[in-house]
Structure 1
Amino acid sequence: MQQTNKTNKRILFHRQPAHVLLVDFTPPFNNKICANIHSCLEEFFALVCSLAGPPRVPYFSISAIHRYSECLLPLQNVRGNFQQIYNALLELKHLKGDMHEDQSTTSFGQGLRDAVLQFNRQSTHIRQMSGFSTQLEVTVFSCQHVNVIARQIEAAAQSIDLEIIRKIEVVTVYETENGVPLDENDSSQSTDSSEDMATMMDIIQRKFLPNDTLSISDHFKHWLYDCGTDKEYLHLILNDIGSGAMTLKCDIREQILSPSLLPPTASCYNILPELNSFTSGSKKQSASVSVIQLTAIKLVRANGLCESIVFGMPFALQPTLCWKLDWEELDTNQQHFAALCQHLHEKDMVLLTCQNSTTDQPSYAGKTPNPRGHFVILPSEGGSSLLVKPVASKELLLPHGSSNRVDRVVSDAMEAVGSHLEKLEVCDVLNPLYYVSNLHQTLMSQLMKGSQWQQKRKSNNKDQNKPAKVMNVKGRTKGVIMTASLKSGHVTNSSSNGSKANNTRPGYKEAAVSSREFPTEL
């Protein structure tokens, strides 16, 4: 049974590669492109360095490629080093601003060799720190055509250990008004058929990105996904009756980053964050809750709301019954509330709101603005309540897209899955009252175990807390003092032969100090 449980477990984020970024300054690479890369990397690593849990981007290095390869940040830990990463990105931006536009690049091979050399020097340390072996992933950002850069990298393949490289991603950034650049020397493709060259062609991936912050940011956010493929995430069992069940093995792909992994400043993504302060076993009995202010900013069609960006606890809104309001205000508020429900329901709309949007003020004296949460409000049919749910913002959103999509499903697969689905019961309405999660039984079992453990602990403490025994003999006879120590549990004896009673007092005082919980009497 233990072997089965062990084989059915996977380790999260233990196959994350070390990332090396090479930025090519060859024209038409300009200050605008460099500024966009700088801005996206700053925001990306602010997020990465704040995420709790296993490191998703464990190691990072960045180099500028111009007349020679200039390392701006050696390969090092990302977590806890945001200041060093910030300084390196700032140096990248300033370096491009000080450089002439007509400088060409011929040092891709040197940049790749330096990256591999850095990784080899630290591979032992990385393995000792993480407990797992990892690989190197190299990303090249350039304005040259991907084939031009790929040929330069292929030329350096003979002096590189390809076993440690997971992927070399060549990204061409282009201006949208100019379109994707063409490779004018496409006919000069490498004809080397060696085994190393074939391996190099397998690990090189080519990609085109428009010069906008959204596309560049999405590219870096792909680094946040779990790269481990040692074990599947989930088994979806169809028709679990008898031996004819079908099991689909799936991977789980995050759609948004959970705000619970971020510092407490991100509590704005919860409509009532104070509820999270009442954790199990907490002694906190109350909390002061501010009046929440949501400002409507847009109407959204109901069929335009994607479920993948809705997260967190839903709450129902009802017209207030606050006794401090007069009857006329209560009645007017209730009428307006019902009218809003009816309008949204008839128009098939949802209301997009923003928290504290009316209190926005320009930052001054270096003050950082507080984050704001966004929420959607959905109407009910009867007009008696609204449903409010948090939605993801740009910072939390992860890039979509599937890399293993099937273009055409064969008929045999359709028939096999269809036959299993036909055996399942069909219901018109999902009623949660029909489904029990065994939560009550689990909680009662844990509470009973805790109660039994406390009773056993009290019983043990009662036996240990017995007062120290003292034997006192009158006159000039022998006296024995026995003391017990709460911390060590040892019993010590001190005796005096033929001495006066006042001669034993210093020894008693010393024993009493070391065992204050067990006072003795003479």
Structure 2
Amino acid sequence: MDNRKRQPSSSSTGSLVFWSSSFPRQAARVLIVEALPPGWSDTCSVLCDALDNFLSLACSLDGPCRIPLLSLYAISRQQECLLPFVQVRGNLARLHSCVEELRSIPGESCIKSAAKGGDLLRQAVLDSLQQFKQYIRHTSTGNQACSNASVEVTVVTSQPGRSVIHQLESGLKEADLVSLRRLLVVQIIGTNDWSQDSHSPEATMTEDSLMLGTEVDLQQVENSVFAMETVLKAWLQEQGGEREHLHLLLPSPSDNPLPVCVKCDMLERLISPALIPMTPSLGVKTESVRDFLPAVKGPGNQSPTPQRLRVIKVLHADGVCESVLYGLPLVIRPTTCWQLDWDEMENNNSLFHALCQTLRNQDLFLLLRVEPDKKSPAGGSGVYSHYILQPSPSLSLLLKPVASRELLLPCSLPVSNQDPSPNAMQSIQGCLSQLDEDFVLNPLLLSSNLYQHLRSRALLSQPRYPYRLQSAPAHREQPQAAESSRNAVGRQQRQPPNRQLGPSSRVRATVAPLPSASSCSSSLLGPPPAKASRPALHFLSSGRRAPAPPLQEEDSDDCLILQ
């Protein structure tokens, strides 16, 4: 699996898309499900539906490998490995059958002894670690799927989470946990038991009194499909943690020449629709108007029909988070189509102006949804994209794609209730005071050095021309010889077309320099000196070709040979 590039899909433009591998340290995943009474009858359908939704997305994602390996265990009457370690990408059929097998486990007549359930859970963890070691041992070291020899185990249970953690602690004290990076216990709490003051579905509590020497977390989630999807989608985010991702450099408020550095990590907020191989009706690309308009089907030069977006909600501007918007915005203006009559165009301009002013005065946005095509077959599983319509100070609107539930990744950022330290506040305020302040962002003042980069790149890759200079004696050729050579070429060109040239014959086209004004005036006095002549250029004929010079490594363009 090459994490640096992907082959273009049927919906792509035909060129390779390159990216750097942002997931080189992703760990293998083990999911252990406790299908024990009485909670399994309530959580079975929720967990299996969430697994189906998540795996359908994870198996179809393009780009870097986010989940290299996955294994699934179930604990009911006994500990059972439903799925040994397999690669996730492109393996949806096998993973779906595994989820259906998990769904078929009955919710009753299972083991009812908590002690026996804890022992089976310990065996499942140890067995998964042993199978992972065997997989690594029998897989070549160059395989990208096993480049990182670590595994993360997630236990899903409806039992009290703290008691499950202490059972694992006592059972795994003497085990070899070198390859275990993290152990996560996910406790599913019933909807009736989920009070208002409970932890949020994305909250994580870490035990402090554990002796396993590895990271052990307890996560309590609501018994809903979305909450379980949020837990599983955390697997799609980078789990490196070896180094910081970003350094923010602020000017130092003192005389110190070194800037103030704020070290940060980056977190993905959503899955880019460009990583999904299928092309929805809208939403993947907004780089141009033609990317937005629907495809034209049918013969001839039929013009595309207008795209129909239905307004479904009115939103307050302060309630829209910019992190869920993606792609390039499109400017929306009233139409100037010449096929409309003047009355209709004037009425349309008035409606557009009223819409812009109303949204701007009341600080509102509009939520839009793509209207399905009436010609599409009924009952088809179409993909509906959504957009935000935002007013601008001018007589125009901005159209931006907005992510849907399926593309969102977990993002539980803590909200601090206490102020930062006075020293930190004073340092940051001093750094910001060193910067210039503008009330309006002017892109004309921003230069990315793009012109210079493109110019230098083009000059370094000059094309190789198909002609070559004549030898040194030809440089000293007199004009009379050049004239006779041109007459000979003219006689050869006037020969009948059915007359073939011999294998040793060679056609030489001599290109003479154009006469300048001074040379024309001095032509009456005699022939020009030899130093005024320039090297003549000639082309190779098809009868005899000189060997082409070797290409450099950075220049792979084909050379054109004129005949």
TM-score range, shorter chain: 0.7 to 0.9
* Secondary structure of the corresponding residue to residue 360 of structure 2: helix
Q: Distance in 1 between matches of 2:244 and 2:226?
A: 30
Q: Which digits, 9 at most, give the CA deviation of each residue in 1:369-416, with x for residues without a partner?
A: 12121111112334x211111111111111112379796522222211
Corresponding residue of 2:399? 388
Q: Would the aligned equivalents of 2:316 and 2:363 in 1 still touch at CA under 8 Å?
A: yes
8 Å contact from structure 2 (residues 286, 330) kept in 1: no
Deviation at 1:440, TM superposition (A): 2.4
Alignment check: 8 A CA contact 2:173 2:212 kept:
no
Describe how 1:159-174 pairs up with structure 2 within 5 A.
Answer: 159-174=174-189
Report 1:84-483 matches (<5 A).
Answer: 84-96=94-106, 99-100=108-109, 103-104=112-113, 105-106=117-118, 107-124=120-137, 125=139, 127-130=141-144, 132-179=147-194, 198-200=211-213, 202-239=214-251, 243-266=257-280, 268-270=282-284, 272=286, 289-357=304-372, 359=374, 364=379, 367=380, 369-382=381-394, 384-402=395-413, 409-450=420-461, 452=462, 454=463, 456=464, 458-459=466-467, 470=503
| Cα pair distance change 1:443/1:437, threshold 3 Å | same
Matched, 1:20 2:30: yes
AA at the equivalent of 2:26: Q
The one-letter code matched in structure 2 to 1:62 is L
1:146-179: per-residue Cα shift (whole Å, max 9, x none)?
1221222123314532111011111110112124
Is residue 22–residue 62 contact of structure 1 (8 Å, CA) maintained in 2?
Answer: yes
Using the TM superposition, give the Cα deviation of residue 275 of structure 1 relative to its aligned residue in structure 2, in angstroms.
Answer: 6.0
Letter in 1 for 2:307: I
Deviation digits for residues 82-126 of structure 1, max 9, x if unmatched? 1111110111001236x5366453411111111111111012327
**Residue matched to 2:81:** 71
Structure 1 unaligned blocks of 5 or more:
1-8, 183-192, 279-285, 473-481, 490-516
Runs of 5+ unmatched residues, structure 2: 1-18, 199-208, 293-300, 472-500, 506-542, 551-560
Structure 2 letter corresponding to 1:122: Y
Q: Which AA in structure 2 matches 1:421?
A: L
Please, what TM-score do these two structures have when normalized by structure 1? 0.76
CA contact (8 A) 2:274 2:285 kept: no
User: Counterparts of 1:407 and 1:85 in 2: how far apart (Å)?
Assistant: 46
**Is the alpha carbon distance of 1:222 and 1:126 closer, same or farther for their aligned partners in structure 2, counting shifts above 3 Å?**
farther
Distance 1:100 1:362, change over 3 A: farther
| Alignment-mate amino acid for residue 100 of structure 1 | S
The change in CA–CA distance for 1:302 and 1:26 in structure 2 (over 3 A counts) is same
Computed over aligned residues only, the root mean square deviation of the Cα atoms, in angstroms, reads: 3.6
Secondary structure of the corresponding residue to residue 198 of structure 1: coil
Counterpart code for 2:94: Q
Change (3 A) 1:253 1:405: farther
Amino acid at match of 2:34: D
Is the 2:173–2:211 Cα contact (8 Å) retained in structure 1?
Answer: no
State the alpha-carbon separation in 1 of the partners of residues 351 and 246 from structure 2.
47
State the SS of the aligned residue for 1:75: strand
Amino acid at match of 2:273: P
> 8 Å contact 1:168–1:205 — kept in the other structure?
yes
Structure 1 distance, partners of 2:121, 2:277, is: 39
Determine what percentage of the aligned residue pairs are the same residue. 31
CA distance in 2, matches of 1:173, 1:485: 77
- Secondary structure at 2:444 match in 1: helix
Distance in 2 separating the partners of 1:381 and 1:314: 15
Which AA in structure 2 matches 1:110?
Q
- How big is each residue's C-alpha offset from its partner over 1:1-42, in whole Å with a ceiling of 9 and x where there is no partner? xxxxxxxx9952111111100110112323341111111111
